[in-house]
Amino acid sequence: MLAFTTFMASHTPEGFGWVEYHAYRIFNAVEYLRLNGYFTNYGFSIWSSCSDCVLTSPVWEDQVYLSGVAVISLLPYIGINAIWGEEALFIFGPLLDKAVVFVTAVMLAELFIRLVVFSRTSTSSISSVEVSPPIPQWWLGISVFTLFVTSIWAYQMQRAMWNEIWFLLFFSFSLVALLRNGFLLGCMMIFVAGLMHYLSGFVLAFVFLAFSTLSVIYRERSTLMSFIPGVLHQQRRLWIYSFCALVPALIHLGLRALYTSSGNVGQGSSLLFRIGISGDDIHNGGIVGALQFLGGVRVTQCISMLGAEGFQGASLTSKISAFNCSLSILGMFLLSALSVLGVIWLLRARPATRPLLFPVGMILLISVAVLQQSFSVHLLGHSYPFALLFACGLGGLCLKGAEVIQSRSLNIIVFTPIVAACVLLSVRVSMLSAVPG
């Protein structure tokens, strides 16, 4: 990852640190809390990208952002700013984000290796029977790690962090704990994950509780157990775990209700606006618009290369740039679609991967299906969990292809350039991206 970070920092015009607007948003949010009291507004803060703001001014009283409890979700950055100040925040904040992505990638690679090489002999647990893959485990781990950290979704989160990165990190910790029969630790980690991103925690709890209830109604308990770690097979434990994921959302809603009940007016989009049915939804592109993230970059990025003259008046160089930009985005979209097929194959042929892929996949699926305008507006951020599915899906396709060849040495020779091509395409699309959002 160090090599990738160094390369992108020296070969992209914007560099590889925080973009300016994001840096000031984070600083203003944490500095506002420091100056005005961390719990004055029930933990909520402002979300402005202005520079040299007078954060003690009364003008900010009606600008408090209610979409996240900043004193919780920004806690690591609050600590940096409180101890070392603004300059340290601008230096160590981006490094912290990169560290989170790096650790998540390591955890993902380890989980992928562990889960794909084991076969379930029953629906109650992962057995000790190891299935030797036709391609070396170290190669699978390195490939999944590299595909994750170089993906456009992970790259942009290192330039303008969204709290999805923290949720995925602590979800990974939780899953590792559960696979090691650490029920209490797993509950603690999923609770922290929910605190960092309450919406993902809410959706995860909803999926598990709904799955558990319906499996009882339709007498499909064995199906449910094949999708969750063995330590959660007791229904009481599954409900406790789900409740731990749900509580942060209840905390957020409670604090928001307390804030608004005091007569305060906060900022933030309504649920209907995020869905795209508020009546004034110019950014809502429907389900197709919500799925733009599969291409990594908007097509308008290519159109802008033609300049004000448009296609007819643009120079030949501009037309070539726009054409190849479009091909890159199309290639990324097709590669993303292939990775989805790889995820589906893993869910079917490698049941042990279900506790990893199913929750993340369902969180993303439900979010895309419901919050269509949010995904249309914010192409990157909400879609960060797809980096996990992308890396695992392509790793799964390589594993499927390796089963056909059945030669470790030949598989390495064949699939290494394929993975390299995917990585280079990801880097190319990342270079096309402008300001994250």
Contact call for residues 216 and 208 (beta carbons, < 8 A)? no
Would you state the pLDDT for residue 129?
57
In a domain, 333, yes or no: yes
Residue 334 pLDDT greater than 50, yes or no = yes
Does position 396 have pLDDT exceeding 60, yes or no? yes
Asked whether residue 178 is assigned to any structural domain, the reply reads yes
Does residue 134 fall inside a structural domain? yes
Of the ranges 115-119, 167-171, 179-183, which one carries the lowest mean pLDDT score? 115-119
User: Angle 339-13-103 (CA atoms, 0-180°, nearest 5)?
Assistant: 45
| Token code pair at residue 220 | 């499909």
Task: Tell me how far apart the alpha carbons of residues 88 and 86 are, in angstroms, rounded to a whole number.
Answer: 5
Listed in sequence order, the DSSP H helices in 44-161 are: 70-73, 75-84, 86-116, 137-149, 152-157
Residue 197, pLDDT > 50, answer: yes
The answer to whether residue 437 is domain-embedded is no
Domain span at residue 323? 2-432
- 340 is a domain residue: yes
Q: Is residue 349 part of a domain?
A: yes
Q: According to the model, what pLDDT value does residue 123 have?
A: 37
For 97-126, what is the mean pLDDT? 80
In a domain, 299, yes or no: yes
Residue 407, pLDDT > 70, answer yes
Whether residue 51 lies inside any domain: the answer is yes
Give pLDDT, residue 53: 87
Q: For the chain, what is the domain count? A: 1
* 428 has a pLDDT exceeding 50: yes
DSSP character string of 403-433:
HHH--HHHHHHHHHHHHHHHHHHHHHHHHH-
**pLDDT (mean) for 340-362:** 96
pLDDT tens digits, 38-75: 998 999 999 999 988 899 888 888 889 998 899 999 99
**Rounded average pLDDT over 339-347:** 97
